[in-house]
Structure 1
């Protein structure tokens, strides 16, 4: 049996599962464990629990929140709170405000990773078939007040803490925290069928060709990035795991589904198509949620506008856009709304697809390939001159776009880096610039990476972004936070995170580059905090004073990067020299709030700039917070 986290005697209100059910209030002994809330009949004279009266599975809880007390409520019912789950709200009355706070705090931590947490709630009671707060007469009606979600935990607006950082977990909470969701390949298993999302041309004799839309049998998950598979003719070989999706996963086979697409990218694609009723379905910024993006020229708007509709779930697990039209699957919902507007500005008339988009990068240019023959590289044009030397755009084997860093001799600890490169190649995330391989058998050595057509984020902000909508800048920060959260999960430090070390692809997605390379720099001006090339403007006090790098120093740099994004590429502390920055930042100086950043955005930056490293959030915390803000903007 699970160990008890909290135990208290509360007054429980009957749940009124029928409109005609009379209300009653009874004392119950409530016990919270990691998996359940159980309540028991209680003998106050003997101080013992009696029969079990009911349970609520923690994983089914969708919200916990305060409730406004009833008018003229008796003393024992002054501190109510609610636990919302599949069967509706469970109303409980604590004896004191302190006890209520304690239970809410514990409950919010226990449920913070639940899949179906809701965004709105009812602040008043459900009584005799009516919500007292909004007078709605449907018990499952959407709440009338927005919950503020902070890093996966709930808080009621109006009682907001100054910091968005969550309260630190207790040791027992940390120990019970569920593991991170497994990567996509964990959904597969040998013998399962996968469908190719992209064509793949074999690079080595070990590889297997993929043809978009065809089925393949998974034989072995060799590692995160490469699987061994067979085609329908029995040919076997290695395939990139991010080029296939498991059969039966649902949406990937539909032309209207655009998996990794942000709101602003969706709007750009819909406006480019310029068709009234053009639509697509994309992943929402909220994990596990989906959004229909629709382009309309209705209402006399010749230029057209984009609308975004979140696909909702009923308590019974059905999908809907309009509450009266529920469906057992998203494809069924889309089919219905292709013929009926049903509350939207238009029916879904034209599928807008990005199915012909470029294939994602692979971890290496073939299974087991990390040493690249320089004779297979064609140099086309220079992209810039970085810390290690010239960077050029080129082709590998005449067809694959690549960026090639030509490492000038004496700038890098080459032998150490070459060993590290084998590990770095296995790091793969959609918001990291992929390392394809190295050329080490001649000098200078080359580092071959993914090529991103829009170049450096810093230049992109300064030259390409004008009058940006708030959501565009926040999406940029989200991309970086998710790439860094992945590095954090791999115990990898960047050490030089800044807008200049991020790149922008053709769709406007941002990817982090040059992670970990600063460890191999041999330039004293760069590696010493006294050197003029040291990234002083992006460094926290513990790095400036003691050269103590950690994941928390990367967090500080991320806050400065956010500031760069929201100032469209201004220089941090632009009027101060390095010596002044060291003195003043160590004494508490912080960057000002950019004009484009609202208080909620600036508070994230300030959280990154706490003096004490342990008080700064993690990248996982930041990614969740930014996702929540994006969800509110949708």
Structure 2
């Protein structure tokens, strides 16, 4: 029983493998383990499982999603969901929506690394030989609705939400001169633990982004090209070899591993205005596989093709066809290996092994503002990479202690954390060089940058922060000063947490208690105010206050109280009021963060899941 993740009674619908098969509904005991879903007949009188009725290997699951209930469904069948795998859809009915959400979330967490995940799904049932949503009569037909496949826990990398990024153009919207390739709604995934190449079978990857070497040790990447991984030097940097035999270090978050035959991506061709499809294949007995590249061509009628006999009016239709038919390719296009976005992600440092940066390579362009440590400027590294430069005023920081910690901080990498690139410590003042985010501080963005915000926009800000903090939590790393002023906003509207852990090195700032310890009073829980006891649960309290800042569009917490009053009143049970823009469900998350007992507050992983649930319902 120790390896059981979830167990629940559900009504299971028969899979109707033949068009004329009658439907039936039977109650089964479902058991979810880490690698398998099983369902059993159950003897209610004896209170134990009877015969095993079926199993689903989780590695074969392609989609987990809600299903719209049938018309005039009885009460016991109001909360259906589907598990799509090799044999088709498995339909089950939960007793409540909460149980359904719990199972969908957990199943998505368990299958989030599967390589054959769908990008579209059918929101209605397959019944009597057709899909009720789109009336298609082929059971394997591609879904009719774009799937929001985001795991309901810690985020993943390169995430882009549909509220911030428009769906790909429909064929009628595309320009005939250069139609865009499809932007598959692939599931954003957190990076799995770095696989170790073995001597018998080196790991092969394909570049998702172009990478220009920053140091002599680095190796350049070209989008769509194949590379062999020789050594996993660290989680963030791998040693690789290109097709010409050149070797060097590459950022691990710029490449995607091929595992199965038929992985593909669509990319810009070397010829302007053209596109190339890169496909991984194991044809010809090559067990390690290789990458084949096919240029998308046009005929005299302006139609697009990969194989001359199969022409299409636009590229999305071409891709859709070859997802089901090889038609001259080494393999059909089975699964998308890239969820590439317009801009490449940040690297952990400005090149492999670089953490001490030569200040002569930095050009300061304009001042962004000033904080507790000194002036922050926007600049360039080596004249081409955007960076933010914190110039630490002398006497404001315990510099030696920070420098010892900087290497550890550089290895922290997540889409919702501002990346530390390196430091300049051989001069004074010392510099901290980080990722530059063009929309600046979240607090200023809330106060001046948004008008009449949509509920989804505010909730996504909370989600971004919760997921960045969930990653810090997983690394046993405390922030100690989480607040809107310590978050930044990028050009896409994504919020990233910054200055994590820096408050430990403050020598003189405005956050002082009667005992002389340094901390932000308005964002601190009773155990910090009274006993200076920090933990991940004190960060959780601060997250609740940050949510309150978001939903008040940047108001000062306890704005009418001074620090002394706050210590007394919060320790006696005072809590911030519900903001007008926050409904009761959102406010209940804030209140959970402000529980008197630290052990009764949620973890950041639980917070991220709860916020994702709310977002899921809103969308």
- Judged with a 3 Å threshold, the aligned counterparts in structure 2 of structure 1 residues 6 and 602 are, in CA distance, closer, same or farther, namely closer
Unaligned runs of 5+ in 1: 143-148, 153-179, 256-328, 337-353
Aligned partner (choices 591, 597, 606) of residue 621 of structure 1: 606
Instruction: State the 1:43 CA deviation.
Output: 12
Q: 2:152, 2:609 within 8 Å by CA — same for their partners in 1? A: yes
Q: For 1:89-488, what aligned pairs fall within 5 Å after superposition? A: 111=107, 113-115=109-111, 182-183=191-192, 185-186=194-195, 190-203=202-215, 205-246=216-257, 249-251=263-265, 253=267, 332-333=319-320, 357-488=342-473
- Judged with a 3 Å threshold, the aligned counterparts in structure 2 of structure 1 residues 219 and 569 are, in CA distance, closer, same or farther, namely same
- Judged with a 3 Å threshold, the aligned counterparts in structure 2 of structure 1 residues 622 and 7 are, in CA distance, closer, same or farther, namely closer
- Judged with a 3 Å threshold, the aligned counterparts in structure 2 of structure 1 residues 381 and 334 are, in CA distance, closer, same or farther, namely farther
Q: 1:58, 1:110 within 8 Å by CA — same for their partners in 2? A: no
Deviating more after overlay: 190-199 vs 444-453:
190-199
Deviating more after overlay: 575-584 vs 525-534:
525-534
Unaligned runs of 5+ in 2: 112-116, 144-149, 154-188, 270-315, 324-338
Instruction: State the 1:387 CA deviation.
Output: 1.2
Instruction: State the 1:565 CA deviation.
Output: 1.4
Aligned to 2:389, the other structure's residue is in SS state strand
Aligned to 2:530, the other structure's residue is in SS state helix
Instruction: State the 1:356 CA deviation.
Output: 9.2
Q: 2:152, 2:612 within 8 Å by CA — same for their partners in 1? A: no
Aligned to 2:390, the other structure's residue is in SS state strand
In the alignment, structure 1 residue 500 sits paired with structure 2 residue 485: yes
Quote the residue 1:558 is aligned against.
Answer: 543
Instruction: State the 1:434 CA deviation.
Output: 1.2
Instruction: State the 1:500 CA deviation.
Output: 0.6
Instruction: State the 1:151 CA deviation.
Output: 6.2
- Judged with a 3 Å threshold, the aligned counterparts in structure 2 of structure 1 residues 126 and 512 are, in CA distance, closer, same or farther, namely closer
- Judged with a 3 Å threshold, the aligned counterparts in structure 2 of structure 1 residues 6 and 581 are, in CA distance, closer, same or farther, namely closer
TM-score, structure 1 as length reference? 0.64
Q: 2:40, 2:49 within 8 Å by CA — same for their partners in 1? A: no
Q: 2:205, 2:255 within 8 Å by CA — same for their partners in 1? A: no
The superposition leaves residues 127-177 of structure 1 with CA deviations (integer Å, 9 ceiling, x where unpaired) of 99999xx9x9999999xxxxxx9967xxxxxxxxxxxxxxxxxxxxxxxxx
- Judged with a 3 Å threshold, the aligned counterparts in structure 2 of structure 1 residues 139 and 631 are, in CA distance, closer, same or farther, namely farther
Q: 2:79, 2:97 within 8 Å by CA — same for their partners in 1? A: no
Distance 2:514 2:248 in 1: 49
Q: 2:525, 2:594 within 8 Å by CA — same for their partners in 1? A: yes
Quote the residue 1:156 is aligned against.
Answer: none
Deviating more after overlay: 548-557 vs 401-410:
401-410
RMSD, matched Cα: 5.2
- Judged with a 3 Å threshold, the aligned counterparts in structure 2 of structure 1 residues 621 and 498 are, in CA distance, closer, same or farther, namely same
Q: 2:513, 2:529 within 8 Å by CA — same for their partners in 1? A: no
Instruction: State the 1:469 CA deviation.
Output: 1.9
Distance 2:586 2:48 in 1: 51
- Judged with a 3 Å threshold, the aligned counterparts in structure 2 of structure 1 residues 43 and 505 are, in CA distance, closer, same or farther, namely closer
Distance 1:507 1:43 in 2: 54
- Judged with a 3 Å threshold, the aligned counterparts in structure 2 of structure 1 residues 467 and 541 are, in CA distance, closer, same or farther, namely same
TM-score, structure 2 as length reference? 0.65
Q: 1:2, 1:33 within 8 Å by CA — same for their partners in 2? A: no
Instruction: State the 1:208 CA deviation.
Output: 1.8
- Judged with a 3 Å threshold, the aligned counterparts in structure 2 of structure 1 residues 400 and 4 are, in CA distance, closer, same or farther, namely closer
Aligned to 1:395, the other structure's residue is in SS state strand
Instruction: State the 1:126 CA deviation.
Output: 12
Instruction: State the 1:572 CA deviation.
Output: 1.0
Distance 1:49 1:534 in 2: 55
- Judged with a 3 Å threshold, the aligned counterparts in structure 2 of structure 1 residues 409 and 234 are, in CA distance, closer, same or farther, namely same
The superposition leaves residues 41-69 of structure 1 with CA deviations (integer Å, 9 ceiling, x where unpaired) of 8798x99987x36234484695899x99x
In the alignment, structure 1 residue 581 sits paired with structure 2 residue 566: yes
Q: 1:130, 1:137 within 8 Å by CA — same for their partners in 2? A: yes
Distance 1:610 1:108 in 2: 28
- Judged with a 3 Å threshold, the aligned counterparts in structure 2 of structure 1 residues 419 and 138 are, in CA distance, closer, same or farther, namely same
Distance 2:466 2:434 in 1: 21
The superposition leaves residues 310-348 of structure 1 with CA deviations (integer Å, 9 ceiling, x where unpaired) of xxxxxxxxxxxxxxxxxxx99734999xxxxxxxxxxxx
Quote the residue 2:528 is aligned against.
Answer: 543
Distance 1:601 1:198 in 2: 40
Q: 1:525, 1:532 within 8 Å by CA — same for their partners in 2? A: no
In the alignment, structure 1 residue 39 sits paired with structure 2 residue 48: no
Distance 2:372 2:225 in 1: 44
Instruction: State the 1:515 CA deviation.
Output: 0.4
Distance 1:381 1:469 in 2: 32
- Judged with a 3 Å threshold, the aligned counterparts in structure 2 of structure 1 residues 15 and 139 are, in CA distance, closer, same or farther, namely farther
Distance 1:382 1:32 in 2: 58
- Judged with a 3 Å threshold, the aligned counterparts in structure 2 of structure 1 residues 593 and 14 are, in CA distance, closer, same or farther, namely same
